[in-house]
Structure 1
Amino acid sequence: MSLLRSARFPAIVLLCAAALGLIVANSPLGAAADDIMHAYVGIPDVFELSVDHWIKDGLLVLFFFVVAVELQFELTNGQLNSAKKALQPAIAATGGVIVPIMVFFAFTAGTDSADGWPIPTATDIAFALGVLAVFGRGLPSALRIFLLALAILDDIVGIIFIAVLFTTDVNFGMLAAAAVCVVLFGVLSRQLDGRARIAISIVLVLLAIAAWVFTYQSGVHATIAGVALGLAMAQQPALRTRHAMEPWVNGVVVPVFAFAAALVVIPQVPLRELTPAFWGIVVALPVGKIVGISLFGWISLRVGRDKTAEKPALAFTDLLAAGALGGIGFTVSLLLSELAFASNDELRDEATLGVLAGSMISLLLAGILVSWRARHYRMLDRVEAGTTADDKSATA
């Protein structure tokens, strides 16, 4: 289980799952896999969903619950618990949202593909931290903290887009019922340290399931239930729950979703005939994120800067590495592509391919840039260590 809590291994599993999905979809097994994804499972005439929807509307709720618990901690006790701490990564995150959207519109304006503009705005926290763990030995803690805050803010933006843009025909009665369940869940979670822990835990699970069902029936995307429950739960029980769920989310939930999302048949057409949705995403993720995050990040480092400091905590080249990491969209971007083009299979499939291709380009760029910056800081450490040793010898 400890392997699935590490930063490196889950990123590798996610990448392999997405690759396997593409391979299966484009093999003789593709038709059978598609039939399985569209098979309905549940209680007949009561509550049935296709396997595809169980994964994307059900299983993925656990991922968003874990993300929301992390958001709750960072907003109260972590890197975003004050306006001063949040200001610089918030400015950089703004650039990491605005510029990719502008790049995407440059390719898609006036076409049916334009509806996919939220897709290149997301950052996959787990994957970005995985790349840092593999290539970032020696990087300063300031860059890691900046990236974590940046990715968390990106997740908040993605959650808002899902909640606001992809909600249709809201059933306010069902939504109110879901809200009641979430409130009861939050209140009851604060009693978990008492004697009736097992009984309370069972009730909490039932309330969580009810909140998810009511949210699904309300017309709001069901993953928002996971966000609401994660934010509402008392912090210490929430952190313990997150710790227990993390290996399952990293080892099962996210890879299964990546496999299902990547079950896309690669179009047998020349590159020039691919839709603007593909090109908009494949360029907006690496280019838009690097330009937006590095440019706005450079501005942010000069906002509220300590006047006594000789230089900003991060160099512009560090921000280039952070921008490349920000372009690794994967999980949330794949979900946004599913939602944005739910009624157009061709655009949805090409958007998915765009997310995979754009994320892979960002991954390669991030590996190069992060390795370069890490090597630079390791050299600085060796020089400083040598200088310190020389000073001690001279003193002696």
Structure 2
Amino acid sequence: MSLLRSDRFPAIVLLAAAALGLIIANSAAGAFAQDVQHAYIGIPGVFELSVGHWIADGLLVLFFFVVAVELQYELTKGQLASARKALQPAIAAAGGVIVPIIIFLIFTAGSDVTSGWPIPTATDIAFALGVLAIFGRGLPSGVRIFLLALAILDDIVGIVFIAVLFTSDVNYGLLALSVVTVAAFGFVSRRLDGRARGAVIALMIVLAIATWVLVYLSGVHATIAGVALGLVMAQQPALRVRHEMEPWVNGIVLPLFALSSALVIIPNVPLSELSPAFWGILVALPVGKILGIMVFGWISQRVVKGGGKRLPIGDLLAAGALGGIGFTVSLLLSELAFATNEEVRDEATLGVLGGSGIAVILAAVIVSWRARYYRRIAASEGAAESAATA
């Protein structure tokens, strides 16, 4: 379990799951895998979802719950607990959202796929921290803190996009009922340390399931239920639950989602015939994130006073490259943005995988370069101290 709580291993598992999905989809087993993905499970005539939807709308809720618990902590006691702390990474995050959108819209101008502009705005926290852990030995802690704050703010933007842009025909009655169950969940969670703990846990599970069903049936994307529950749960028990859930989310939920999303047949067409959405995402994720985060991050450090130690431009470059690893949330956004156009959706998914892959390579090179730089400084300082004491 400790391996699945580390920064490095979950990133490797995610990459392997996505690669496996692509391999299966383009092999003799591809048709069977697609049939399984589209098979319906549930209570016939009452509540049924395809296997793919159970993963994206059901299991992925657990991931968003874990993210929301981390958001709650960071917003109250962590790196985003004050406006001064949050402002620098917030400006950098804004750049990491705005510039990829501009690049995507440039590539898709005049086409019918401009609705995919939210796709390259996301940063995958687990993947980015995993790459940082693998290649960043020796980097100062400030880089990780800045990246974590940046990625969390990116997640907030992604959650807002999912809630606002990909919601249609809302049933406000069911949505109102979900607000009631969320409030009840938050209230009951504050009784966890009292008597009848088992009954309290059982009631919380019932309220959580009811919230998910109500949000799903209301027309709002079901993952928002996980966000709401994670934000309202009492903090200390929420952190304990997050700790227990983390290995399962990293080892099962995210790899299953990556595998399911990557079940895409690589089109046998010339590159010139690929959708503009593919090219927009492929370029916007690595290039847009690097430019947006680096430039806006540099500006923020000169505009915002007292927001923490300044990062050199090389460290901002590394953070930008890591921010270009969109993966999980970008894959979800591509499914939502092109839900009615399977061909474009598949090409957008390939764009996410390709763009994130390029970002991983760039991040590995840049982070390794910066880490070597800091290790050399540490070594020279250590040698100077030894000479001084000799």
Short-chain TM bin: over 0.9
CA distance in 1, matches of 2:126, 2:174: 33
Q: Number of residues paired by the alignment?
A: 390
Residue 386 of structure 2: aligned partner? 389
Look up the equivalent residue of 1:255 and give its one-letter code: P
> How far 1:386 sits from its partner (Å)?
1.8
CA apart distance, 1:390: 2.6
Q: 1:363 aligns with which of 354, 360, 363?
A: 360
Distance 1:381 1:88 in 2: 27
Q: Deviations over 1:96-150 (max 9, x none)?
A: 0000000001100121111100000000000000001100011011111000000
SS of equivalent residue, structure 1 residue 301 = helix
1:353 aligned residue: 350
* Partner of residue 339 from structure 1, selected from 330, 336, 339: 336
TM-score (norm 2): 0.99
Give the letter aligned to residue 257 of structure 1. Answer: F
* Cα RMSD after superposing both structures: 1.1
For 2:152, the equivalent position in structure 1 comes to 152
* Residue in 2 that maps onto 1:326: 323
By how many angstroms is 1:391 displaced? Answer: 2.7
1:127 matched to which residue of 2?
Answer: 127
Q: Which runs of 5+ in 2 are unaligned?
A: none
AA paired with 1:222? A
- Map Cα deviations across residues 175-211 of structure 1 (whole Å, 9 max, x no partner): 0111100000000000000121111000000000000
Unaligned stretches of 5+ in structure 1? none
Write the mapping of 1:208-219 to structure 2, written as runs, cut at 5 A: 208-219=208-219
1-structure distance, mates of 2:145, 2:384:
28
For residues 340 and 235 of structure 2, what CA distance do their matches in structure 1 show?
39
Could you state the TM-score of these two structures normalised by the residue count of structure 1? 0.97
Q: Matched residues in 2 for 1:306 and 1:275: separation?
A: 45
Identity over the aligned pairs, expressed in percent?
Answer: 72
Partner of 1:9: 9
Q: Deviations over 1:214-250 (max 9, x none)?
A: 0000000000000000001000010000001000000
Mapped partners of 1:110, 1:164: distance in 2: 24
Give the match for residue 310 of structure 2: 313
Aligned counterparts of 1:391 and 1:74: Cα–Cα separation in 2: 42
1:286 aligns with 2:286: yes
Look up the match of 1:249: 249
CA distance in 2 between counterparts of 1:112 and 1:32 reads 31
After TM superposition, the structure 1 = structure 2 runs for residues 251-266 of structure 1, keeping only pairs within 5 Å, are 251-266=251-266
**Do the aligned partners of 2:41 and 2:48 also contact (CA within 8 Å) in 1?**
yes
**Which residue identity is paired with 2:347?**
E
Distance in 2 separating the partners of 1:198 and 1:137: 43
CA distance in 2 between counterparts of 1:316 and 1:98 reads 20
Shift of 1:306: 4.9
Spell out, residue by residue over 1:6-26, the C-alpha distance to the aligned partner (whole angstroms, 9 max, x if none): 101100000000000001110
Aligned equivalents of 1:186, 1:214: Cα separation in 2? 16
